[in-house]
Structure formats: C-alpha cells, structure tokens
Amino acid sequence: MTLNELDAWFNTFLKKEDFAGDPSLNGIQIQNSAPDSLPVTKVAFAVDACEATARAAAQAGAQALVVHHGLFWGHCQTLTGNFYKRATSFIKNDLALLAYHIPLDANNPYGNNFGLAAALGLEKTGPFGYWRGMPIGAAGSLPAPLTPAELAAKLSKITKTDCRTLAFGKPQISTVGIISGGASDDVDQAIEEGLDCYITGEFAHEQYHLAEECGINVISGGHYGTETMGVSLLKEKVEKELGLSTIFIDLPTNL
C-alpha cells in the first residue's frame, strides 16, 4: 500500500471533506519521496506530531506517522526555530505525516469521543456538542448510575490519567456528554441538554463558577489522556483490516 492509497483508505470513513470548518489540514501534511509508489509497510501512531514522535517513528522503521494533532493549522508557518526541527525530522527520514483532527474527534466508532463513550459503557449514544457547526462529541446513558467519584475512577483507568472531578451536580450520574481535549467552553452545551455530567480533557478556570452555579458534574481526564483513544482505535483498525505492522508512540504530556 502506498501513502496515497493509505490516505484514501482513511478518508473512506474519516471523511475530511465533511469537516470544512476545521482549520487544521487533515490528511497528508508531509508526503514521502514517492507517495504513489513507495510501499508503506509499517505505520506509527501518536497523539502529537513533534520532533520526538517523528524520531521514534523513524527509529521503529515506520514509513508514516498518523496523529491527532498535526503540524499545520490553516495558517502560514515559517520553517524556522523549533518548527524547522519538527519538519526536518520527517523529511530527513522520508517519514510521511498524516493528521486527522476534528474528523477523528467526531467519528463513530473510531473517534475519541465515541471511543470513550464505548469504553465507559454508555448506551443509546449519539452526537453531542458542536464546534463551528460541526458535531464533535458523543453523549449517552450509563447502564446503571454512578457517583462522580466512581465515574472518574473508571475514566482514569481508560485514559491512564488522574482525573479531576468537580462534583457540582447530581450525586448519581445517569447521562454523560463527552468532548475530548480542550473543550472547556462547551460545558454550556451539556448544561443546555440537561446532562448529569460533562467529560472533557482540560477544564478551565473561567468555566468553574458556571458549572457550579448550573449544578453540573465535570470530569477532566487530561487533554492527552482523552485523545489517545482515537489514534489507538485507528491503529487497531489498520492492523485488522490492512494487515500492516503498527506501533503506538506514547509520549504523555500529563496535561
């Protein structure tokens, strides 16, 4: 399989064209020297594109690195300073970079949010939360109510993060909305839908009093921790359906 064929395969279900409002450049961000002919036999996966993940992927013998957070975010970037180091770590190793931002947040079942919902055992799941008109999150019901502490403990095992809990709502949680990463501002959408708990990666100081005054439980599982789900599910899908060798490069930021 070539790089262009791999990108086309990813797009059969991630459908980047459905997320025109995403300023990140989804799909191939850095090609290899022969995207139509050079075989891709090993694919590395990571949350972030950076010098460290590029080096680790190259050292593992991968020809492509697939990430959630790419290098390019819809604006011009000079190849200077640390950005030069990041870019050249791909080019010098003939390592391709593919990134899927909002398409990987929103995908059902391979995205961050539906993946977290499934791992938590949520039932009757559906889309939840919009960003720039695009659906990005997932919401559903627990099979049996849990306390905020119990749900946070369950999430901590999944994300390998010491989750933080703001127990401002009901003592027993039945309905949950999830938007991974830095989606603190979207707690208002969970409040509007009357959900018992809102799960995100980072919860900001600015929304603390809003959550308390509106009486909603909030659990933050870490930006990195909540966004390992999508790339991990993509890794499994590539192994199963394409039979390619894969590796997950785990470089937690603890944020």
- How is residue 75 written in tokens? 């604006």
Q: Judging by DSSP bridges, how do beta strands 64-69 and 96-99 pair with one another?
A: parallel
So what's the pLDDT on residue 74? 85
User: What tokens appear for 216 in the block?
Assistant: 């909603």
Q: Identity (one letter) of the amino acid at 13?
A: F
pTM of full prediction above 0.85? yes
- Which letter, b or e, does each residue of 149-188 get, where b requires 16 or more Cβ atoms within 10 Å of its Cβ? eebbebbbebbebebebbbbbbeebebbbbbbbbbbebbe
| Average predicted confidence (pLDDT) for the chain | 97
Q: Which residue has the tokens 């949520």?
A: 122
- CA gap 103, 106 in Å, rounded: 5
Closest CA to 12 of 138, 107, 113: 107
DSSP 86-132: HHHHHHTTT-EEEE-SHHHHH-TTTSHHHHHHHHTT-EEEEEEEEET
On whether the CB atoms of residues 105 and 37 are closer than 8 A, the answer is no
pLDDT of residue 76: 87
Instruction: Give the pairing type, strands 27-30 and 96-99.
Output: antiparallel
Amino acid 5: pLDDT: 98
Look at residues 25, 136, 143 and name the one whose alpha carbon lies nearest to residue 77: 25
Nearest to 47 by CA among 27, 63, 28, 68: 68
Residue ranges, the chain, pLDDT below 70 = none
